[in-house]
Amino acid sequence: MYFTTCLTLFLSPNQGFMLNYELLLQENKTWAADMLKADPDFFNKLSELQTPEYLWIGCSDSRVPANQITGTMPGEIFVHRNVANLVVNTDVNVLSVLDFAVNHLKVKHVIVCGHYGCGGIKAAISNNDFKPVLNMWLRNIKDVYRIHRSELDLLQDDDKKTNRLVELNVMEQVFNLAKTSIIQRAWKNEQRPDLHGWVYGLKDGLIKPVYEMKAGTHIDALYEYDNL
Ligand code: CO
């Protein structure tokens, strides 16, 4: 055992000492066996095809796992997560996910789900220099604050300010989705997907819908393409 000084060790009843990350692999075996017990065909079916109806764009925060908090199973939600659930129009990652989900998986709903107490939102409100890469990302949230400054500046309580910006940020990200030609083309040709802005409560586990945009909704004409 070379690693004993720097890594935490756990005693496993079956295999003696295990490195802590190995517990994840152990748990995976148990989970896969349980799934097969409930439905012997579960993995066969899923390995052939995924037909999720939902695209989830959520925060990377470890406390907001899309499937668990919505009671859904593998295969039901296509997921993209990043810090503070942003839809940035130069982000190849989120746009690739959106393109694939809308044009290939044909999802019916796109959900942007933020969460109260979001660390990314708090960081964006602060004046701290988080160094280049995080500063670049958080700038998008500062821009949302600026758009809603007249409302947010009135809130004295820091938590209230953070949580209202969480809601407004989710709404702005729904707008950002609607500004893409990916969404506008799908709206024009297939009258889907509907867009949803939700906020998850870390303290009660409940999701609050805060904004909804039905397929085909008109947005600021400046952003609407007429030759889709
Ligand atoms: Co967060």
Q: What is the pLDDT of residues 46-99, one digit of tens each?
A: 999 889 999 999 999 999 999 999 999 999 999 999 999 999 999 999 999 999
The stretch 116-144 carries a mean pLDDT of 98
Global pTM? 0.91
Residue 14 pLDDT grade (very low, low, confident, very high; cuts 50, 70, 90): low
Q: How far is the CA of 124 from the centre of ligand 1 (A)?
A: 11
Q: What is the pLDDT of residues 186-216, one digit of tens each?
A: 999 999 999 999 999 999 999 999 999 999 9
pLDDT at site 49: 86
Identify the CATH class of 51-223. alpha beta
Q: Is the pLDDT of residue 5 over 90?
A: no
Q: What is the DSSP string of the chain?
A: ---TTTS-EEEETTTEEEETTHHHHHHHHHHHHHHHHH-TTHHHHHHH----SEEEEEE--TT--HHHHHT--TTSEEEEEETT----TT-HHHHHHHHIIIIIS--SEEEEEEETT-HHHHHHHS-----HHHHHHHHHHHHHHHHTHHHHTT--SHHHHHHHHHHHHHHHHHHHHHTSHHHHHHHHHH---EEEEEEE-TTT--EEEEEEE-TT----GGG--S--
Torsional class of 152: left (φ above 0), alpha (ψ -120 to 50), beta (otherwise): alpha
Q: How far is the CA of 115 from the centre of ligand 1 (A)?
A: 6
Q: How far is the CA of 61 from the centre of ligand 1 (A)?
A: 5
Q: Is the pLDDT of residue 224 over 70?
A: yes
Q: Is the pLDDT of residue 6 over 50?
A: no
Q: How far is the CA of 4 from the centre of ligand 1 (A)?
A: 34
Q: How far is the CA of 221 from the centre of ligand 1 (A)?
A: 31
Catalytic positions: 59, 61, 63, 115, 118
Domain boundaries for CATH 3.40.1050.10 within the chain? 51-223
Q: How far is the CA of 76 from the centre of ligand 1 (A)?
A: 22
User: How far apart (Å, rounded) are the C-alpha atoms in residues 114 and 160?
Assistant: 15
